[in-house]
C-alpha cells in the first residue's frame, strides 16, 4: 500500500527519513518485510526522474526507467542493498506492480474486497472499474485479470480507457475505450466503437481464464495494445493509441467476479523476442 504521507511537504522539506521509514517495496510473494528503500536510492531515483518516485509513493508501484543507464544504476543499488524484488523488476521491465482496482473509479454496482484486487457485481447492470495506476504514456506495461465467475461470456469486456469514460458503459463501447469482448457467444472481437472486428485465435471467455493486457509505447507517443488469453499471445489488437490510458474491465451479470493478479509478468516469449 502507498504510505499515507504529506508527500509534497515531505519532499519540499527534505523529509527523506520519514519517507524511507514508511516506504517498503513489496516482493512478488506479497511480503512487505523487506528493508525499506535506502535514502540514497530514493534520492537518486527522484533526482533522475521525479515521476517515478512520486508514482511509487502514491501507488506502491515502481515504473521502470526507460533509460538503460539509469536502469543499470538502480540495479547496482538494488544489488548493493540486497533488495531482490527490485533486482527482479529491473531485470524484467515487463513486470507489473502490486496492482489494485481503483475505489474512486469503480461503478457503484461493483463491490471491491478489502485488498481492492477482487471486484464482484452486486447488482445487475453494466459496471466498469479501472486499475489504480499512473496513467500510461511511455514504456511497456503488462497487467493480468482472472475471470473468476461469469454468468455469461458476453457480459465482460477487458481493455483500456480514459478516466473520463462513463463507468456505466462497456469498455470499447465509446471512442475513448479499446477492448476485447465476446458478442452473441461467438469468437472474441476487438472493440472500439463503432468498429467491432474478429480478433485473436478463436474461442470465448470462460471462467478461470486469465486475460493479459500489454500496452506498449516504446515506439513513440502513440501506443499499441495486445492481449493474452491464458498467457497465449493473441496478437496486436490496436495501434496508434493516445497516451494517458488506464487498464479497465466491465462486467454486467450479478455475481460476476474478476481478480487482478499482482506482479504480473510478461510471458516468456516476450522476454525472448
Q: What is the pLDDT of residues 99-109, one digit of tens each?
A: 788 888 899 99
Half-sphere exposure of 154 (CA within 13 A, CB side): 4
| Per-residue pLDDT reduced to its tens digit, 190-239 | 999 999 999 988 788 999 999 999 999 888 889 999 999 999 999 999 99
The pLDDT score that the predictor gives to residue 163 is 79
C-alpha dist (Å) from residue 139 to 116, 169, 178, 223, 245: 25, 28, 19, 9, 13
What integer pLDDT is reported at residue 140 of this predicted model? 84
* Cβ(62)–Cβ(52) below 8 Å: yes
Q: What pLDDT does residue 19 have?
A: 42
Cβ-based neighbours of 4, under 8 Å, separated by 6 or more: none
Query: Is 138 a residue whose pLDDT tops 80?
Result: no
The residues that bridge with 161 in the sheet, in sequence order, are 177, 246
- Residue 86: helix, strand or coil by DSSP? helix
Band the pLDDT of 43: cuts 50, 70, 90: low
In this prediction, residue 237 carries a pLDDT of 96
Q: Which grid coordinates belong to 264?
A: 504480473
| CA angle (141 as vertex; 151, 24 as ends), nearest 5 | 100
First vs last C-alpha separation in the chain: 33
- Which 8-state DSSP code applies to residue 245? B
Least confident interval from 19-23, 110-114, 130-134, 154-158: 19-23
Consecutive H or E run containing 215? strand 210-216
Sheet (strand 232-241) strand order: 110-112, 118-121, 257-261, 140-149, 210-216, 223-229, 232-241
Phi then psi dihedrals of residue 231, to 5 deg: 65, 20
Q: Do 161 and 148 meet the contact criterion of CB atoms below 8 Å apart?
A: no
- pLDDT score for 20: 43
**The model's pTM:** 0.65
Average per-residue pLDDT in the chain?
73
* Helix/strand number for the chain, H first, E second: 7, 14
Provide CB contacts within 8 A for 72, sequence distance 6+. Answer: none
Domain map (residue ranges) of the chain: 7-91, 101-272
Give the rounded distance of the alpha carbon of 98 from its chain centre.
9
For residue range 146-185, what is the model confidence (pLDDT) as tens digits? 999 999 888 899 999 987 778 899 999 999 999 999 877 7
pLDDT at residue 11 greater than cutoff 60: no
**In CATH, which superfamily holds the domain spanning 101-272?**
SPRY domain (2.60.120.920)
More confident residue, 22 or 82: 82
Other CB atoms within 10 Å distance of the CB of residue 195: 12
Q: What is the pLDDT of residues 246-272, one digit of tens each?
A: 899 999 999 999 999 876 778 864 444
Q: Which of 18, 23, 17 is nearest to 2 (CA)?
A: 23
Amino acid at each position: 500500500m502507498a504510505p499515507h504521507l504529506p508527500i509534497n511537504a515531505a519532499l519540499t522539506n527534505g523529509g527523506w527519513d520519514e519517507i524511507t521509514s514508511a516506504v517498503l517495496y513489496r516482493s512478488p510473494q506479497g511480503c512487505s518485510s523487506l528493508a525499506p528503500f535506502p535514502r540514497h536510492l530514493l534520492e537518486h531515483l527522484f533526482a533522475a526522474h521525479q515521476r517515478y518516485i512520486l508514482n511509487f509513493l502514491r501507488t506502491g508501484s515502481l515504473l521502470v526507467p526507460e533509460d538503460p543507464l539509469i536502469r543499470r544504476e538502480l540495479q547496482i543499488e538494488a544489488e548493493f542493498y540486497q533488495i531482490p524484488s527490485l533486482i527482479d523488476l529491473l531485470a524484467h521491465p515487463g513486470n507489473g506492480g502490486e496492482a489494485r482496482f481503483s475505489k474512486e473509479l469503480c461503478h457503484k454496482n461493483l463491490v471491491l474486497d478489502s485488498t481492492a484486487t477482487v471486484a464482484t457485481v452486486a447488482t445487475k447492470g453494466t459496471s466498469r472499474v479501472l486499475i489504480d495506476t499512473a496513467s500510461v504514456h511511455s514504456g511497456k506495461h503488462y497487467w493480468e485479470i482472472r475471470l473468476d465467475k461469469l454468468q455469461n461470456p458476453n457480459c465482460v469486456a477487458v481493455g483500456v480507457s480514459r478516466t473520463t469514460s462513463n463507468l456505466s458503459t462497456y469498455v470499447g463501447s465509446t471512442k475513448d475505450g479499446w477492448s476485447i469482448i465476446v458478442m452473441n457467444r461467438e469468437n472474441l472481437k476487438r472493440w472500439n466503437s463503432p468498429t467491432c472486428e474478429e480478433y485473436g485465435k478463436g474461442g470465448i471467455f470462460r471462467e478461470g481464464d486469465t486475460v493479459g493486457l500489454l500496452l506498449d509505447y516504446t515506439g513513440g507517443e502513440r501506443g499499441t495494445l495486445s492481449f493474452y488469453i491464458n498467457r497465449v499471445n493473441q496478437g496486436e489488437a490496436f495501434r496508434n493509441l493516445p497516451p494517458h490510458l488506464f487498464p479497465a474491465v466491465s462486467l454486467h451479470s450479478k455475481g460476476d467476479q474478476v481478480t487482478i493478479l499482482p506482479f504480473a509478468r510478461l510471458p516468456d516469449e516476450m522476454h525472448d523476442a
